[in-house]
């Protein structure tokens, strides 16, 4: 280790204590990457675990003095390599800042630190009859800070929206160590630019979020659940379109393609029809008669579209069983090839069927298994490419399929990421989607807030300090 590195490490240790600065390579290696296992990652010189905003300020001041890159990290549940380490840098792990600081039922808000786990927050406010809606699939272990960094969504987005819809205010430590407080506690407020939302979805490139004031909703009622199977993707797509045009707003509307259905059925042995090309699962949490009426209306739409089977229930346990197939999709797909590339593409809801058919064609062309599950209510699809990572030919074809899927999404008027973020694996694709003018604006904002480029370099768009910019071959 160089004398310079020894100097800044000593400063960090003085500020945070020995238990807050980890340098053992066997330990720091476990913080090197998120769940995107094939994304490029470096080796951090140190992992620091702050307990307060003051600790984060101290870290950023040391980093700024010595020009050391800093990568913020939550629980590591990301799927785009956005919190992967930089060689010789500092990885700031926010999980020790895990306090729910305030719950205000009268104002329907909560104030939390970034290390609070999503489910922990839900449980904390439930006693007040309140509800924090954003529910990523990893909600039982992902952190609010990570949710904010990527503007996470989840299964309930169709009715409740995504993380940014619940952000009232943030406390952020900037690259130079200054603390910015932005936003408000009121329902309305237009004083100045909406800086809070600038940081949501910025993937740790503009500042480190140390506190969030979040809006809450009244707790939902017990749901009524529906599952419907279809012989064609067009039929399922027709139902999604008619849900939108008829004004129905289910609290959940999920879709699985035929590949996922067959794969899950092999695991669950649920007796699903092998000829089914699409499965819709929906819920209404409006409660009582209203929920029953919403699901009855959705049943009619499914039947008119030619559904093979439609089943609904107001029994919570049975409803959970119907959702189990959707939740089992990724674990089941993992058994196909061992390695997976989990994509994240959002398309207009009117193009969902075309997207599913396109993914089938890509799978055939690349001679691979591609299964698609998604949030049909908002068009956010998650195609998963399954392959044997030990087979170089399959690996190359898998990367090709990943790119083919992004190309398909853009061709259908969609976007390269609906909720996982750009991270380090879609840099080229972001440039293609947003164009040179928008990219220049992005870089100008980055330069204004982080002129030395220390915060999460190489994430979202190209900067120095991190390898790659695409999946590593």
What percent of the chain stands above pLDDT 90?
A: 83
* pLDDT for the residue 295: 96
Contact 261, 360 (CB under 8 A): no
The domain in which residue 347 lies consists of 224-411
3-state secondary structure of 137: coil
Q: Are residues 205 and 176 in the same domain?
A: yes
Where residue 155 sits, what CATH number does that domain have?
3.30.465.10
* pLDDT for the residue 466: 53
Q: Are residues 69 and 214 in the same domain?
A: no
* pLDDT for the residue 294: 95
CA distance 315 to 223: 8
Q: Is the pLDDT of residue 191 over 60?
A: yes
Q: Is 76 left (phi over 0), alpha (psi -120 to 50) or beta?
A: left
In a domain, 241, yes or no: yes
State the DSSP string of 322-336: HHHHHHTHHHHHHHH
The band of 326, judged by pLDDT with boundaries at 50, 70 and 90, is confident
Where residue 23 sits, what CATH number does that domain have?
3.30.43.10
CA distance 223 to 30: 39
Q: What b/e sequence results for 223-253 when a residue is b if at least 16 CB atoms lie within 10 Å of its CB, and e otherwise?
A: bbbbbbbbbbbbbbbbbbbbbbeeebebbbb
pLDDT tens digits, residue range 83-110? 999 999 999 999 999 999 999 999 999 9
pLDDT tens digits, residue range 36-86? 877 889 999 999 999 999 999 999 999 999 999 999 999 999 989 999 999
Q: Are residues 209 and 231 in the same domain?
A: no
pLDDT tens digits, residue range 221-251? 999 999 999 999 999 999 999 999 999 999 9
Q: Is the pLDDT of residue 428 over 80?
A: yes
Contact 227, 279 (CB under 8 A): yes
Q: Is the pLDDT of residue 270 over 80?
A: no
Average pLDDT of span 350-370: 96
Q: Are residues 162 and 50 in the same domain?
A: no
Average pLDDT of span 346-362: 96
Q: Is the pLDDT of residue 407 over 90?
A: yes
Q: Are residues 407 and 363 in the same domain?
A: yes
In a domain, 212, yes or no: yes
Higher-confidence residue of 275 and 271: namely 275
Q: Are residues 214 and 229 in the same domain?
A: no
For β-strands 90-93 and 46-48, DSSP reports them as parallel
The count of structural domains within the chain is: 3
Q: Are residues 108 and 38 in the same domain?
A: no
* pLDDT for the residue 468: 45
What percent of the chain stands above pLDDT 70?
A: 96
Helices 258-268 and 329-337: crossing angle in degrees, nearest 10, is 90
CA distances from 434 to 177, 416, 419, 429 (A): 31, 10, 16, 9
For β-strands 130-131 and 345-346, DSSP reports them as unpaired
In a domain, 457, yes or no: no
| Residues sharing a CB contact under 8 Å with residue 211, sequence separation 6 or more, in sequence order | 53, 101, 111, 112, 113, 114, 170, 171
Q: Are residues 238 and 300 in the same domain?
A: yes
For the entire predicted model, the pTM comes to: 0.92
CA distance 48 to 20: 5
Contact 196, 183 (CB under 8 A): yes
In a domain, 458, yes or no: no
* pLDDT for the residue 84: 95
Q: Are residues 67 and 28 in the same domain?
A: yes
Contact 79, 36 (CB under 8 A): yes
Mean pLDDT across the chain, nearest whole number? 93
* pLDDT for the residue 104: 98
CA distance 400 to 385: 10
Q: How many Cβ atoms are within 10 Å of 306's Cβ, its own excluded?
A: 14
The answer to which of 254-263, 308-317, 321-330, 401-410 has the lowest mean pLDDT is 321-330
The band of 440, judged by pLDDT with boundaries at 50, 70 and 90, is very high
The band of 1, judged by pLDDT with boundaries at 50, 70 and 90, is low
The band of 473, judged by pLDDT with boundaries at 50, 70 and 90, is very low
In a domain, 320, yes or no: yes
* pLDDT for the residue 137: 85
Average pLDDT of span 305-325: 92
């Amino acid at each position: 280790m160089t004398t310079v590195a020894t100097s800044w490490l000593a400063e960090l240790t003085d500020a945070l204590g020995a238990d807050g600065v980890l340098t053992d390579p066997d330990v720091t290696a476990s913080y090197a990457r998120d769940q995107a296992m094939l994304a490029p990652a470096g080796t951090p010189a140190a992992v620091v675990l702050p307990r307060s905003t003051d600790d984060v300020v101290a870290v950023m001041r040391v980093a700024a003095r010595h020009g050391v890159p800093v990568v913020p990290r939550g629980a590591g549940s990301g799927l785009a390599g956005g919190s992967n380490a930089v060689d010789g840098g500092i990885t700031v792990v926010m999980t020790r800042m895990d306090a729910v600081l305030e719950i205000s039922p009268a104002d329907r808000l909560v104030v939390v630190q970034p290390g609070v786990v999503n489910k922990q927050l839900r449980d904390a406010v439930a006693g007040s009859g309140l509800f924090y809606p954003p529910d990523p699939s990893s909600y039982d272990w992902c952190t609010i800070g990570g949710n904010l960094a990527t503007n996470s969504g989840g299964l309930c987005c169709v009715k409740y929206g995504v993380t940014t819809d619940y952000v009232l205010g943030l406390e952020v430590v900037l690259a130079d160590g200054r603390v910015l407080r932005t936003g408000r506690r009121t329902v309305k407020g237009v004083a100045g630019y909406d800086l809070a939302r600038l940081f949501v979805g910025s993937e740790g490139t503009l500042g480190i979020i140390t506190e969030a004031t979040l809006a809450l909703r009244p707790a939902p009622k017990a749901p009524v659940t529906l599952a419907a199977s279809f012989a064609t993707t067009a039929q399922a797509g027709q139902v999604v379109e008619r849900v939108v045009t008829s004004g129905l707003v289910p609290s959940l509307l999920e879709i699985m393609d035929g590949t996922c259905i067959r794969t899950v059925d092999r695991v669950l042995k649920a007796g699903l029809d092998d000829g089914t090309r699409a499965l819709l699962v929906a819920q209404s949490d409006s409660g009582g008669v209203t929920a029953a009426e919403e699901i009855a209306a959705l049943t009619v739409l499914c039947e008119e579209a030619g559904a093979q089977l439609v089943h609904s229930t107001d029994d919570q346990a049975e409803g959970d069983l119907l959702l189990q197939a959707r939740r089992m999709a990724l674990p089941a797909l993992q058994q196909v090839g061992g390695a997976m590339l989990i994509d994240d593409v959002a398309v207009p809801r009117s193009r969902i069927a075309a997207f599913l058919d396109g993914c089938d064609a890509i799978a055939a062309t690349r001679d691979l298994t591609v299964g698609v599950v998604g949030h049909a209510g908002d068009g956010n699809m998650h195609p998963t490419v399954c392959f044997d990572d030990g087979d170089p030919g399959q690996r190359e074809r898998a990367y090709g399929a990943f790119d083919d899927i992004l190309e398909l999404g853009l061709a259908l008027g969609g976007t390269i990421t609906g909720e996982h973020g750009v991270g380090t694996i879609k840099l080229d694709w972001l440039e293609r989607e947003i164009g040179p003018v928008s990219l220049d604006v992005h870089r100008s904002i980055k330069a204004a807030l982080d002129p030395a480029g220390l915060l999460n370099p190489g994430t979202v768009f190209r900067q120095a300090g991190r390898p790659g910019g695409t999946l590593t071959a």
